[in-house]
Amino acid sequence: MSITVPRYGADIYSTAAILDPYPHYAELRELGPVVWLTKQKVYAVARYAECKQVLLDDETFVSGDGVALNALANRLGRGTTLNSDGDEHALKRSVLAHRLTPKALRTMGRAVQDEAERIVDAAIAKQWVDGVQDLATALPTSIVPDLVGWPKDGRENLLRWAGATFDSLGPFNRHALGSAKASAEMMAFSRRVVRERSVLPGSMGADVLAAADENRIERSQCPALMIDYLAPSLDTTIGAISGALHLFSRHPDQWQAVRQDPGLLPNAVNEVVRYTSPLRAFSRRAARDVEVGGVTLPRNARVLVIYASANRDRRQWQDPDEFDITRDASAQLGFGSGVHGCAGQGLARLETRTILEVLATRVERIEPAGPASYAVNNVIHRFDRLPLRLVAAEGTAS
């Protein structure tokens, strides 16, 4: 290891750091462009420029050996889109990419709108709500399982399984250990779904089976590919929607601005994802000796890319700790960047924007109504409780 690399001894995956990671990120950014995390024994890049460099150079910084911080998860994750490189990655992405093109999303827009209206009306009727359960969770869990084609009788565990899958991608700490069983259960269930061909007709899962039938992919890859789109689609979007509700409840002036001009919403969604960064960090392996920020990283080094820290780097953003829906937040890295940039971001944006749009027409004020708390998860940073009071707009039944 180069002696010029600063070291950071605190555990950024302790429960306290999971709940409040931002002071750690600030220290990492100040220490240098590359920092050695003594606890995890990996390099970390926490500044915007180096995060972007690593994400864009997918020939050097490979995902095929996994993006987790522990060997077991990296082995279990083999065969997913997330954990593949080059042509293999392009092939896997192509099997399902047509499902999430702008055209496909336009077709889904009506269903998302109807669900959002139903969910918002029910929440307004309650008035006192948990922003996580009543709003943020309700939309993705009503949209994505149908899209992916997960059988109706296997849905009660989905949220727990998907959260555990993210948790297992951290270092091999007690959070990851505790999640291993649930993550394995999800894979076992997915294998059964593929074996029994019990996916919903016309769904993404049906496309995956068809690709195997036509020998475009191997049948053994089907279970991983199904989980590929299900696992990352729930907690992340729940994080973005609940984060948005929290931020707008604390910034009523910006909520009024959105209510008056819904055209602000697409950029507001970028700003929400920048500010909240529901997915903290993933890693890469360096396939060769490579220079990053003046530091030479040795071949095979594991490098942690902290998206959430890049999104608060003052070298990139003015007043990065301020939430401001009028700033141009389009360069945010919350969805990653480069070839592995989030394949579901169109859907995530659609869901987040639509529920905010519906709320903006029907809810005058979103008020904090009690202490909020964060979920404890190695990779996902999101609320697990967010008490709010919704004050209906005049003319809206409540």
Question: Which residues lie near ligand HEM (CB under 6 A)?
Answer: 63, 67, 81-82, 93, 144, 228-229, 232-233, 236-237, 240, 273, 278-279, 282, 307, 334-336, 340, 342-344, 347-348
297/348 with CB nearer ligand HEM: 348
To ligand HEM, the closest distance from the beta carbon of 107 in angstroms equals: 15
Which token pair is 339?
A: 């070839």
Label residue 291 left, alpha or beta by phi (over 0 means left) and psi (-120 to 50 means alpha). beta
129/272 with CB nearer ligand HEM: 272
To ligand HEM, the closest distance from the beta carbon of 63 in angstroms equals: 6
173/270 with CB nearer ligand HEM: 270
To ligand HEM, the closest distance from the beta carbon of 49 in angstroms equals: 16
132/279 with CB nearer ligand HEM: 279
- At residue 352, what is the residue type? T
Which token pair is 209?
A: 């089976």
325/347 with CB nearer ligand HEM: 347
Q: Rounded CA gap, 299 and 155, in Å? A: 42
To ligand HEM, the closest distance from the beta carbon of 146 in angstroms equals: 12
H or E stretch covering 295: strand 295-297
Q: Rounded CA gap, 331 and 159, in Å? A: 30
To ligand HEM, the closest distance from the beta carbon of 395 in angstroms equals: 32
Contact in structure between 244 and 277 (CB atoms under 8 Å): no
89/259 with CB nearer ligand HEM: 89
To ligand HEM, the closest distance from the beta carbon of 250 in angstroms equals: 19
Per-residue burial over 68-89, b = 16 or more CB atoms within 10 Å of its CB, e = otherwise: bbbeebbebbebbbbbbbeeeb
Q: Rounded CA gap, 215 and 346, in Å? A: 28
Q: Indicate the burial class of 11 (C-beta count within 10 angstroms; 0-12, 13-18, 19 or more).
A: middle
From the CB of residue 197, how many other CB atoms can be counted at a distance below 10 Å? 11
